[in-house]
C-alpha cells in the first residue's frame, strides 16, 4: 500500500501594522537598555582594554556585537510574550523588565564604581532573574524562552570573567 505523505505548506506569519509596530517597540526597548548602559559607562571598552583578562576573555570589540544580537533576541522574545494570550504574561513581562533594569546597573557597578565582587553578586542576581524570566516565558511561549537562552549563556560567561577579574584585583 502506497502512502502519500504531504509536506506541510510553509505559512508566513500574518503580521499587521499593529504587530510590526509592537515588534519594533519591543526591540527598541531592549536595545534602548543597552544604549543607556553604554552611555552611562562611556569609557568602559577603553577601561576593559587596560584590565587584566582571564583565559577565554574576548577582545573588546566582541561585546557590542554580542550584546546587540542578544538585545534584539530579547526584544523579539518579549514581543512574543506581549502578543500572546498567556494568562501570566503580565508577570512574565514584569520579570523581563526587572532583569533589564538589573542589566543596566551591572556595568555601572563594574566599570564606574569598580566594585568587582559586588558586581559579581549583582550578576548572580541578574542570572537568577533571567532564569525566572525564561521559565515564565516557557509557560506562555516556548520559542520566546528559547530566544532568551543565549542571553543566559552570555551572562554565565560574563560572571566567569567578572569573578576572575575580581579575584585578580583583590
DSSP assigned state of 10: P
How far, in Å, CA of 63 to CA of 22, rounded? 27
DSSP state of 146: H
At residue 165, the pLDDT reads 98
Digit-coded pLDDT (tens) for 113-139: 999 999 999 999 999 999 999 999 999
Domain boundaries, the chain: 58-168
The DSSP 8-state label assigned to residue 7 in this structure reads: P
- Per-residue confidence at 18, pLDDT binned at 50, 70, 90? confident
Confidence of residue 10 (pLDDT cuts 50, 70, 90): very low
Amino acid at each position: 500500500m502506497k502512502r502519500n505523505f504531504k509536506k506541510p505548506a510553509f505559512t508566513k506569519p500574518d503580521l499587521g501594522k499593529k504587530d510590526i509596530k509592537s515588534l519594533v517597540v519591543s526591540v527598541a526597548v531592549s536595545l534602548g537598555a543597552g544604549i543607556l548602559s553604554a552611555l552611562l559607562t562611556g569609557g568602559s571598552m577603553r577601561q576593559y582594554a587596560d584590565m587584566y583578562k582571564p583565559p577565554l576573555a574576548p577582545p573588546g570589540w566582541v561585546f557590542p556585537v554580542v550584546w546587540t544580537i542578544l538585545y534584539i533576541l530579547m526584544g523579539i522574545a518579549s514581543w512574543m510574550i506581549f502578543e500572546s494570550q498567556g494568562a501570566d504574561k503580565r508577570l512574565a513581562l514584569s520579570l523581563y523588565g526587572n532583569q533589564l533594569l538589573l542589566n543596566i546597573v551591572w556595568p555601572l557597578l563594574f566599570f564606574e564604581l569598580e566594585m568587582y565582587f559586588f558586581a559579581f553578586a549583582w550578576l548572580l542576581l541578574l542570572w537568577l532573574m533571567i532564569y525566572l524570566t525564561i521559565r515564565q516565558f516557557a509557560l506562555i511561549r516556548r520559542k520566546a524562552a528559547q530566544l532568551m537562552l543565549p542571553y543566559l549563556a552570555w551572562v554565565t560567561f560574563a560572571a566567569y570573567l567578572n569573578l576572575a577579574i575580581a579575584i585578580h584585583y583583590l
